[in-house]
Structure 1
């Protein structure tokens, strides 16, 4: 069981993020995107600091520096995604963001000269095709500034995944997450104040939905992601996290009564096949090679 602890944590993260689409939709009826980001990251850093305050006494300078880099990348990705959404469709925004799944292995190749695993790479492309079926409309239209900003967001998330895998090898994952959340919260509040969005709605539905995003989609999910990356590769991490789109569809159908279409079913099957390919195909061929010997 311990062999798959990283995968279990990442699947849990993807499920939580999938449910987050529903609560984000509810929160947006009461708060602006910038306010939501400020609240969710602030909730994250407050909860983690309260629970793990004893660990904070032993925080290292390297953790602060690396956490700052991760927090900057995290907020930059969310910011580009949020602004990009104002100029493009939600379906294109979701699809282009998910392209980070194929960017990650190339970052590792360029930065570390690491050989690309052909099965994980095939799984990554298969996941992208599946996400296209889930979210991308057939009438794609012309590329606009929103699409380009969202592509920048995909690179932001890809680098966040890459550097998390790199840093977590010799850092405390909890402290790394605390600093990351704190930095993201700092940037979020700078933008909220800069945009003059200092007045928040106090409607209970909006408060509870935003708190869900802060407690589960931010605090718990990013703790799981950071800890899980001690045990899994960057590419496998990106593939498993791409199932966020699949779980988003599931929760939208169950909670928001979205109509399930044939395209959604095809997309779900392709994403699941991508996971199976990345997780089991190499082992199958290794066993076959051993049998031939």
Structure 2
């Protein structure tokens, strides 16, 4: 039951992040990318402190340095993704970011010599192909924007992997609080250094920041970090990759974008990847057990 609870939390996170594409598009009409990042992390940190500040009595040095690492990785990943988008197309940006699905098991193998599960690896590759069909519209030539986005993908992969690694020994909520406070501090310093402190903000921009902070940041990351206790890092990456699918669906509903045949095939491949990673091993294991029981 706990296993499926973790997967369900990851799926909700993917849905919320998918909706965030529309909201970010609105926010960027009124604020710079760095202002949006700082705003969402500052408000999210405040919300977490109000709701779960009592848990800081469990704060230990191990949680502080681990949360600081996660917060730094998270902000850097978002920064490279945002800056990379200035030099490449949104579709290529989304596709290259999704490379984190494949990078997660590679991180486990390279740094910790963990065996790569065949089903999860195949599911990762299949999800990557699906996201490519879902997102890519033009040619695929690597430029500076693509390189920056690739660094972003590595950052998100490390965030997923180390969140999964750290929450096994630390309280997920306290870890998330430290993570957000770290990202908020970095975001504030960046805005100050760039001289982008806003004097006035349109109400549409404020509403967008509130949505991003409450749902796309606070709710999504709390669910994700808690869910890591009940699922694997690779499976989490695969489920979270459906963010591209839900982002497309929300874009169709609210931005009236057209879903092409290629995008439909991509969406199907993403869902197939999740089913393979989630059900295939258990399916074959059950079949083998039944056969052994009959002999």
Fold match by TM threshold 0.5: yes
TM-score, reference length from structure 2: 0.97
Q: Using the TM superposition, name which of 232-241 and 53-62 deviates more.
A: 53-62
Determine the structure 2 residue equivalent to 1:254: 253
Alpha-carbon distance in structure 1 between the residues aligned to 2:131 and 2:170: 33
Cα deviation for residue 263 of structure 1 reads: 1.5
Deviations 1:199-224 (A, max 9, x none): 25421111111210011000000000
Alpha-carbon distance in structure 2 between the residues aligned to 1:135 and 1:163: 27
Cα deviation for residue 285 of structure 1 reads: 1.2
Deviations 1:116-153 (A, max 9, x none): 1111111111101110111112422x311111110000
**Contact 1:105/1:116, CA 8 A, preserved across alignment:** yes
Alpha-carbon distance in structure 2 between the residues aligned to 1:67 and 1:199: 28
Alpha-carbon distance in structure 2 between the residues aligned to 1:52 and 1:12: 21
Alpha-carbon distance in structure 2 between the residues aligned to 1:251 and 1:158: 24
Residue 208 of structure 1 aligns to a residue whose secondary structure is helix
**Contact 2:2/2:230, CA 8 A, preserved across alignment:** no
Residue 148 of structure 1 aligns to a residue whose secondary structure is helix
Determine the structure 2 residue equivalent to 1:287: 286
Q: Mark the CA change 1:3 to 1:235 in structure 2 (over 3 Å): closer, same or farther.
A: closer
Task: Map 1:74-93; keep pairs closer than 5 Å.
Answer: 74-93=74-93
Determine the structure 2 residue equivalent to 1:19: 19
Alpha-carbon distance in structure 2 between the residues aligned to 1:152 and 1:9: 27
Determine the structure 1 residue equivalent to 2:157: 158
Cα deviation for residue 53 of structure 1 reads: 1.5
Cα deviation for residue 57 of structure 1 reads: 2.3
TM-score, reference length from structure 1: 0.98
**Unpaired runs of at least 5, structure 2:** none
**Contact 1:66/1:167, CA 8 A, preserved across alignment:** yes
Determine the structure 2 residue equivalent to 1:56: 56
Residue 58 of structure 2 aligns to a residue whose secondary structure is coil
Alpha-carbon distance in structure 1 between the residues aligned to 2:255 and 2:237: 27
Cα deviation for residue 261 of structure 1 reads: 1.3
Determine the structure 1 residue equivalent to 2:36: 36
Determine the structure 1 residue equivalent to 2:174: 175
Task: Map 1:203-218; keep pairs closer than 5 Å.
Answer: 203-218=202-217
**Unpaired runs of at least 5, structure 1:** none
**Contact 2:3/2:231, CA 8 A, preserved across alignment:** no
Determine the structure 1 residue equivalent to 2:187: 188
**Contact 1:31/1:200, CA 8 A, preserved across alignment:** no
